[in-house]
Amino acid sequence: MFAVATTNRGKLREIPGVRPAITGQSSIFGGRQQPIVVNVQGPEASRLKIASARTLEAVKSVAGVAERIWGALTAVIKLEDKVTRQSEALKSQQAKVEDLTGRVIRLETKLELLMSAALVKRLKP
């Protein structure tokens, strides 16, 4: 395992922007598991989706690996889509709240003007 990890760590370092961390993972049952975890991170959701898809295609070409992480990567991509949809819905709701806030402010202003006019009318002899 250590020879494979060392070889792959060196190959991964050649790829710009990749920070390889190849380690065994402890199992709750004792011993070490050898899972593959690929984290694709960045600030832009659209680019992450593209990078995730490319990573998935690269990993799918390795026999025995594709089956294990296919589900995980698919879930991550679906989750990213859901986050994007919720973000868009939130923006829409925020616009509606801002519109309603503007309406309330205009109504308050009209009410104050009407009340002031009514007070002035009562004070005039």
For 40, the token pair is 């694709």
pLDDT for 110 beyond 90: yes
Q: How far is CA 115 from CA 101, 109, 121, in A?
A: 21, 10, 10
Which residue range is the domain that position 30 belongs to? 1-35
The full DSSP string for 7-23 is HHHHHHHTSTT------
Under DSSP, is residue 90 helix (H, G, I), strand (E, B) or coil?
A: helix
pLDDT in the model for residue 98: 95
- Pair (10, 65) in one structural domain: no
- Pair (54, 26) in one structural domain: no
Mean pLDDT of 1-25: 65
Rounded to two decimals, the pTM is 0.38
- Residues 60 and 56: their CA atoms lie apart, in Å, by 6
For 39, the token pair is 């984290």
pLDDT for 107 beyond 90: yes
Under DSSP, is residue 52 helix (H, G, I), strand (E, B) or coil?
A: helix
- Pair (24, 72) in one structural domain: no
Say how many domains are in the chain. 2
User: pLDDT tens-digit profile of 35-86?
Assistant: 566 777 777 878 888 887 887 777 677 666 655 556 666 777 777 888 888 8
pLDDT for 114 beyond 90: yes
pLDDT for 30 beyond 60: no
- Pair (18, 71) in one structural domain: no
